Structure 1
Amino acid sequence: MTPATWGEPDVTARTETRLYGPALIRAWDRLHPRLTHRIAWADHAGNLPIIEGTVIL
């Protein structure tokens, strides 16, 4: 996945942590990896499925 293609995050939060100082949390909903016919999908016939998920950074 290429972060430059994700667009603006759906959720952004900032907090102060006791041990590490400031933390920025960003989440993008409904992102999915670009599957290829390699490794686990090598024998898959037809179009590859779209597997949606949430990326939290």
Structure 2
Amino acid sequence: MPAVARASYVDPRVIAAYQRGKTIYCALKDLGDSDGPATHGAAERAVIELLNRSK
């Protein structure tokens, strides 16, 4: 199996959720157009919520 860089890793639950039509689109839309450090925590929390719902 090839090595994968941690920065490139995508949790398989994220892919499975996407295939079921579940994304963090609404959370990102609510953040607006900003892509600065202030939005990273909110996006990470949205991904964690998505993963928790995928259990």
**TM-score class, shorter:** under 0.3
Greater strand content:
1
Larger Rg: 1
Ranked by relative contact order (alpha carbons within 8 Å, sequence separation 6 or more), the top structure is 2
Greater helix content:
2
